[in-house]
Amino acid sequence: MTRQEFSSILLEHRKASGTAVKDLCFQLNCMPTGIYRIENGSHNYNMQKCLDYAKAIGVSLVLENTSLYEQIQDYGHMITVLCDARRTMMSQAQLANSSGISRNMIGKIETRKSIVTIDMLLRLISVLGLSIKIIAHE
């Protein structure tokens, strides 16, 4: 999945939820440009803000593969799932080599000293053999 495809799916869910951009701005304490940045996928955006956006429109992200199905509750949970998946498969150095993300950055992500962007997330899940889905809350 590309950033643009991911963003397009989020936009479809926002429209289906009937949530107005001005309401999201109020809930997320941001300007409309922050919402449009996520929805149009033309910029590499912060996943912590994206997860707040998803929660506000009533959807969740799911990371899965043949042995894992995790509905992401918040940013910390997402990092825990990624760390656990990485630890069962490879070292930080191996993930760095395969993903093109520096070993230093992977360490910062895992210790929560740096925020994952959508582009980093998509590279990490690809290398870890995970897929991502966006599901509406029932």
- The answer to whether the predicted template modeling score (pTM) of the entire model surpasses 0.75 is yes
Is residue 29 very low, low, confident or very high in pLDDT (cuts 50, 70, 90)? very high
In which residue are the tokens 């992401």 written?
Answer: 72
pLDDT at 127: 96
The tens digit of pLDDT for each residue in 57-115 reads 999 999 999 889 999 999 999 999 999 999 999 999 999 999 999 999 999 999 999 99
pLDDT at 137: 81
Strands 131-136 and 59-65, sheet pairing: antiparallel
- The Cβ of residue 59 has, within 10 Å, a number of other Cβ atoms equal to 21
Distance from chain centroid for Cα 68: 17
User: How open is the CA angle 130-70-47, to the nearest 5 degrees?
Assistant: 75
pLDDT at 138: 67
- The Cβ of residue 14 has, within 10 Å, a number of other Cβ atoms equal to 22
In the predicted model, what is the mean pLDDT of the chain?
94
Distance CA 92, CA 16 (A): 39
Across the range 46-58, mean pLDDT stands at 94
Query: Among residues of the chain, what percentage have pLDDT more than 70?
Result: 99
Across the range 7-18, mean pLDDT stands at 95
Distance CA 7, CA 5 (A): 5
Distance CA 62, CA 41 (A): 19
Distance CA 83, CA 68 (A): 13
Q: What tokens appear for 13 in the block?
A: 């869910």
